[in-house]
Chain A
Amino acid sequence: MSDFQNVALQLAEAQHSPDWLQSLRERGALSWSSARWPTRKTELWKNTPLQPLQSDMPSRWAAATGTDWQQDIEQIDIDATRLVFVNGQFMAELSSDLPEEIVRFADANVAQRQVIEQKLGTVVDAERHLFAALSNAWVADGILVQVPRNRSLDKPIYVLNVSTPEAEPAVSNQRVLMVLEDGSQAELIEHYVSADSKQNGFVNSLTEVIVGQNAQVQHYRINLEQEDLLHVGGVHVNLHRDARFHGFTLAQGSRLKRIDYQVNHRGEGAHLELHGVYLPRNKQLIDYHTNVEHCVPHCTTNEVFRGIIGDSAKAVFNGRIHIHPQAQKTLAELSNKNLLTSPNAEIYTKPELEIYADDVRCAHGATISQLNETSLFYLQSRGVERAEAISMLSFGFINELLTQVPEQAIQDYLRPRLTTLFGQGSELLGQLDYE
């Protein structure tokens, strides 16, 4: 066991947690402690060293602190059911009144507890996902969203997770379980931010979504933490017959940010649409691992990830699509495009296809390059300054995905941020002179 594995177990022991979660916690602790700590030879962590976790070992649970972070952090301006967590602690006074479909684990009634006990930890494979095991071991609170049959939630759910500065490295755990019964609809926005740039800390987050027959989910995960906050997160989804999952994710910041998307097509006719953007700069590392399992026939997947990597940042993308023998008539596509904008930036991409059925159409593509010289020339020949042209083209590269985001409020929140990010003298784009 590594040092961090030990510390994490001690942290679990120090927690107060309801009795009825004990069995999951114990199972989590067992998988966590028996797992081999990833090294450079561990395929799933090959290019993502966990060394920052070991060197800046978090030693205690983060405490909820006041509300003075509020002026630093702009929230997404949206009419939604708002749940605010600060350092993993629920802030009732900042949150909306919760409708009956949404409940914290701590407040769950008997029926809701039963749902949690039955479903929590069943979507994620904790043997394969190391930090999901940790999340199980650490589960004490969380959010349950349960949408009854043929119901549609009136408002989107907006979960804001804020990390504020701590005196010493601290950890927090975030857990969401979403159960959509047949024919229901919901929208969930998970927004992760941190208040200060001198933040030391580690956030472990896990979201499990069960999408029933013909149900639909829009899911957003916006990860905009500061440099020193480490984050390992996962979104695990089961799609049943004719279910739809529309996901969008954007990541920036963190010396170590690893996000796993695992989607299992369990019923025929299910569709996954997953779009992602990563924009690491400075010395950040962003790692997206996606894995789509096609277990049944007639399902479709469309996955698009784009990244701009600047400064001395590093990005890792691994997109796996696995077609099981029964999954005939599958259509699956994956595209991953990357712009490198600095001589010190690095990208490791690995789109994988594993196919055991013959009547399928699968394709993936990956590209790495800098901006196209011809496009730059075109703009310059029309009187646009070079720096401006670079900024325009880079923004356009990401904007293509942004314009497809169905939720206008997210577009409105992200667009000005990206404009600033891509503005002149930007760290993300400024390193190259494009001879």
Chain B
Amino acid sequence: MSQQVENLIKKDYAAGFHSAIESDTLPPGLNEEVVRFISAKKGEPEWLLEWRLKAFRAWQEMEEPTWAHVHYPEIDFQSVSYFSSPKSMADKPKSLDEVDPELIATYEKLGIPLHEQEMLAGVAVDAVFDSVSVVTTFRAKLEEAGVIFCPISEAVHRCPELVQKYLGSVVPQKDNYYAALNSAVFSDGSFVYIPKGVRCPMELSTYFRINEMNTGQFERTLIIADEGSHVSYLEGCTAPMRDENQLHAAVVELVALDGAQIKYSTVQNWYPGDSEGKGGIYNFVTKRGLCHANAKISWTQVETGSAITWKYPSCILKGDNSVGEFYSVALTNNCQQADTGTKMIHLGKNTRSTIIAKGISAGRSNSAYRGLVRMNPGAEGARNFTQCDSLLIGDRCGAHTFPYIESKNPSAVVEHEATTSKVSDDQMFLCQQRGLDAEKAISMIVNGFCREVFKELPMEFAVEAGKLLEVSLEGSVG
């Protein structure tokens, strides 16, 4: 059985191709000039340059965090290139037809054919290739509804007042080391604005891909849902196979004004490195949402990639009766390390939060749940429920739980439970006795294990996520 396990665990990284696209890439290194260059390249207004410089100076003063349960050689931030743009972008494509066919082919390989998606899925896609947003589909239809969905570099010119008001309002420049770095050098990302009372007519989606060697990707996403509006946003990521570690430090800010709802789903499949732990993406991401009264933010994530994941999508439940949700499946294999979880900060009355986190570790990997639930004195009648389950596959992996639970209000109720186990022999026996082979049985049990999270994903993502897990885990316990 263990041989079988080995074989199944050793699946190849299907998205690990590199596209031969000519690109403008800044030489490695980071200083004020680089920040100014990026800002100038984007034709940014003065205030944004100042904003970036402020972040850069703060970053220089900060120390890299070491509290996470991950180990990696020190990152040389001077050896990373902070800007890479596909060359044919220089004269911007007016429509899909003008986009470099090679680039389009890349996306097709990834399974997001823009044309098809446009027709079939009705999903509007903003694709970020290395550092630049390549194309945004379905614009006209969204504009009809008053929805603004465009690269953030464009939003800076189109609706500067919104960007200026909300950029950094949820994740300030000095929030943490990687957020500060991102604030200084972010190159692009998506911007979404949903006007008052509008239900976004389709699901919005971004696809990220790191293509160039030695580049870091620093995208910044800002979603503003005005009063009473609703939006569902999907995000997916891949990168080519390389021996070097690449850096990805993104920031996502969500603002849900009174009564608004934002659903943010991620399927993260960055290159995890080979079976010896060589290469792979360092994924240091800061994601946070701010809920005003009666608003709701729901994070759903399926994390299967990256050599290192350091990610804590959080909700600040500021308004009364606001709701935060976090559903997560984190799968680590080979030498991957994940330290992921969430923060729920309850400030308002009757705020509610639910956390469902499932961790699956295989090979020599380590996966940790790290979460914070804080009930502030004003969180009258607030409620939290947390459940963390871990599944271990193989005897060389690790699964850890570090929940921080704090309460300063007696009427708030917090419940936390966590379990760790392997797939039980009884479950396996039952399935096999009914004629399923070991692989099918495992696949079924693991899928069942993750079901609570998968049902929160939009349809097409749920299928993809299920497949991702299936490939790497079938039959892995006996």
A residues whose Cβ falls under 8 Å from a Cβ of B: 43, 325, 328, 338, 340-370, 432
Question: Which of B401, B408, B422 is within 8 Å of A352, CB to CB?
Answer: B401
Question: Which of B410, B413, B414 is within 8 Å of A345, CB to CB?
Answer: B410
Contact across chains for A355 and B402 when beta carbons are under 8 A apart: no
Q: A350-B403, A360-B421, A360-B422 are in contact. List 9 more A-B contacts (CB 8 A).
A: A43-B67, A325-B396, A345-B408, A355-B420, A358-B422, A359-B395, A363-B420, A366-B403, A368-B413
Taken together as a complex, chains A and B put the C-alpha atoms of A364 and B377 apart, in Å, by: 26
Contact across chains for A364 and B401 when beta carbons are under 8 A apart: yes
Taken together as a complex, chains A and B put the C-alpha atoms of A343 and B377 apart, in Å, by: 7
Contact across chains for B406 and A348 when beta carbons are under 8 A apart: yes
| Min C-beta distance of A107 to chain B, whole Å | 46
| Min C-beta distance of B20 to chain A, whole Å | 43
Contact across chains for B397 and A358 when beta carbons are under 8 A apart: yes
Contact across chains for B400 and A354 when beta carbons are under 8 A apart: yes
Contact across chains for B416 and A367 when beta carbons are under 8 A apart: yes
| Min C-beta distance of A132 to chain B, whole Å | 23
Task: Known contacts A341-B410, A355-B392, A368-B414; decide if A349 and B400 are in contact (CB<8 Å).
Answer: no
Taken together as a complex, chains A and B put the C-alpha atoms of A176 and B395 apart, in Å, by: 38
Chain A CB within 10 A, most for which of B398, B405, B409, B411 = B405
Taken together as a complex, chains A and B put the C-alpha atoms of A10 and B387 apart, in Å, by: 50
Contact across chains for A346 and B408 when beta carbons are under 8 A apart: yes
Contact across chains for B409 and A343 when beta carbons are under 8 A apart: yes
Q: Which A residues touch B395, using CB under 8 A?
A: 325, 328, 357-359
Task: Known contacts A343-B377, A359-B395; decide if A350 and B402 are in contact (CB<8 Å).
Answer: yes
List 29 interface pairs A-B (beta carbons < 8 Å), by A numbering.
A338-B407, A340-B410, A345-B408, A347-B406, A348-B405, A348-B406, A349-B406, A350-B405, A351-B401, A352-B403, A353-B401, A354-B398, A354-B400, A354-B401, A355-B399, A355-B400, A355-B420, A356-B398, A358-B397, A359-B422, A360-B420, A362-B420, A365-B417, A366-B415, A366-B416, A367-B414, A368-B405, A370-B411, A370-B413
Question: Which of B393, B400, B419 is within 8 Å of A363, CB to CB?
Answer: B419
Which of chain B's residues has its CB closest to A317's CB? B405
Taken together as a complex, chains A and B put the C-alpha atoms of A350 and B417 apart, in Å, by: 11
Taken together as a complex, chains A and B put the C-alpha atoms of A358 and B423 apart, in Å, by: 9
Question: Which of A338, A361, A370 is within 8 Å of B421, CB to CB?
Answer: A361
Taken together as a complex, chains A and B put the C-alpha atoms of A354 and B396 apart, in Å, by: 13
Taken together as a complex, chains A and B put the C-alpha atoms of A343 and B69 apart, in Å, by: 34
Taken together as a complex, chains A and B put the C-alpha atoms of A413 and B312 apart, in Å, by: 47
Question: Which of A342, A353, A356, A367 is within 8 Å of B415, CB to CB?
Answer: A367
Which of chain A's residues has its CB closest to B408's CB? A346
| Band of interface residues on B | 35 or more
Contact across chains for A364 and B417 when beta carbons are under 8 A apart: yes
Task: Known contacts A325-B395, A363-B417; decide if A351 and B422 are in contact (CB<8 Å).
Answer: no
| Min C-beta distance of B477 to chain A, whole Å | 8
- Say whether B279 faces chain A, with CB atoms less than 8 Å apart: no
Which of chain A's residues has its CB closest to B383's CB? A369
Q: Which A residues touch B28, using CB under 8 A?
A: none
Which of chain A's residues has its CB closest to B416's CB? A366
Taken together as a complex, chains A and B put the C-alpha atoms of A369 and B404 apart, in Å, by: 16
Contact across chains for B393 and A358 when beta carbons are under 8 A apart: yes
Q: Which B residues touch A369, using CB under 8 A?
A: 412-414
Which of chain B's residues has its CB closest to A43's CB? B67
Q: Which A residues touch B16, using CB under 8 A?
A: none
- Say whether B315 faces chain A, with CB atoms less than 8 Å apart: no
Q: Which B residues touch A346, using CB under 8 A?
A: 406-408
Chain B CB within 10 A, most for which of A343, A354, A361 = A354
Contact across chains for A347 and B417 when beta carbons are under 8 A apart: no
Contact across chains for B375 and A368 when beta carbons are under 8 A apart: yes
- Say whether B418 faces chain A, with CB atoms less than 8 Å apart: yes
Taken together as a complex, chains A and B put the C-alpha atoms of A350 and B386 apart, in Å, by: 13
Which of chain B's residues has its CB closest to A323's CB? B420
Taken together as a complex, chains A and B put the C-alpha atoms of A300 and B151 apart, in Å, by: 55
Taken together as a complex, chains A and B put the C-alpha atoms of A364 and B407 apart, in Å, by: 18
| Min C-beta distance of A185 to chain B, whole Å | 33
| Min C-beta distance of B337 to chain A, whole Å | 13
Taken together as a complex, chains A and B put the C-alpha atoms of A359 and B409 apart, in Å, by: 39
Taken together as a complex, chains A and B put the C-alpha atoms of A347 and B390 apart, in Å, by: 26
Contact mask B412-437 → A, CB, 8 Å, 1/0?
11111111111000000000000000
Question: Which of B394, B402, B408, B415 is within 8 Å of A358, CB to CB?
Answer: B394
Taken together as a complex, chains A and B put the C-alpha atoms of A337 and B168 apart, in Å, by: 38
Q: Which residues in chain B, 364-387, are within 8 Å of chain A measured between CB atoms?
A: 375, 377
Question: Which of A355, A357, A366 is within 8 Å of B390, CB to CB?
Answer: A355
| Min C-beta distance of A126 to chain B, whole Å | 23
Q: Which B residues touch A344, using CB under 8 A?
A: 408
Taken together as a complex, chains A and B put the C-alpha atoms of A349 and B422 apart, in Å, by: 26
Which of chain A's residues has its CB closest to B399's CB? A355
Contact across chains for B412 and A352 when beta carbons are under 8 A apart: no
Contact across chains for A353 and B411 when beta carbons are under 8 A apart: no
Q: Which A residues touch B412, using CB under 8 A?
A: 340, 368-369
Question: Which of A351, A355, A432 is within 8 Å of B410, CB to CB?
Answer: A432
Taken together as a complex, chains A and B put the C-alpha atoms of A353 and B420 apart, in Å, by: 9
| Min C-beta distance of A320 to chain B, whole Å | 9
Which of chain A's residues has its CB closest to B368's CB? A354
Q: Which A residues touch B414, using CB under 8 A?
A: 366-369
Which of chain B's residues has its CB closest to A339's CB? B410
| Min C-beta distance of B417 to chain A, whole Å | 4
Task: Known contacts A351-B416, A363-B419; decide if A340 and B407 are in contact (CB<8 Å).
Answer: yes
Q: Which B residues touch A352, using CB under 8 A?
A: 400-403
Q: Which A residues touch B397, using CB under 8 A?
A: 356, 358
Which of chain B's residues has its CB closest to A316's CB? B406
Chain A CB within 10 A, most for which of B392, B393, B394 = B392
Which of chain B's residues has its CB closest to A345's CB? B410
| Min C-beta distance of A429 to chain B, whole Å | 11
Q: Which B residues touch A340, using CB under 8 A?
A: 407, 409-410, 412
Across the A-B interface, the 6 shortest Cβ-Cβ residue pairs: A358-B392, A340-B410, A369-B413, A368-B414, A365-B417, A353-B401
Q: Which A residues touch B375, using CB under 8 A?
A: 368
Taken together as a complex, chains A and B put the C-alpha atoms of A359 and B418 apart, in Å, by: 16
Contact mask B89-118 → A, CB, 8 Å, 1/0?
000000000000000000000000000000
Taken together as a complex, chains A and B put the C-alpha atoms of A276 and B102 apart, in Å, by: 65
Contact across chains for A364 and B418 when beta carbons are under 8 A apart: yes
Q: Which A residues touch B403, using CB under 8 A?
A: 350-352, 366
Q: Which A residues touch B420, using CB under 8 A?
A: 353, 355, 360-363
Q: Which B residues touch A365, using CB under 8 A?
A: 415-418
Contact across chains for B421 and A362 when beta carbons are under 8 A apart: yes
Question: Which of B392, B405, B411 is within 8 Å of A366, CB to CB?
Answer: B405
Taken together as a complex, chains A and B put the C-alpha atoms of A350 and B391 apart, in Å, by: 21
Contact across chains for B404 and A348 when beta carbons are under 8 A apart: yes
Which of chain A's residues has its CB closest to B396's CB? A325
Which of chain A's residues has its CB closest to B386's CB? A366
Q: Which residues in chain B, 153-196, are within 8 Å of chain A measured between CB atoms?
A: none
Contact across chains for B410 and A370 when beta carbons are under 8 A apart: yes
Taken together as a complex, chains A and B put the C-alpha atoms of A432 and B380 apart, in Å, by: 13
Which of chain B's residues has its CB closest to A431's CB? B410
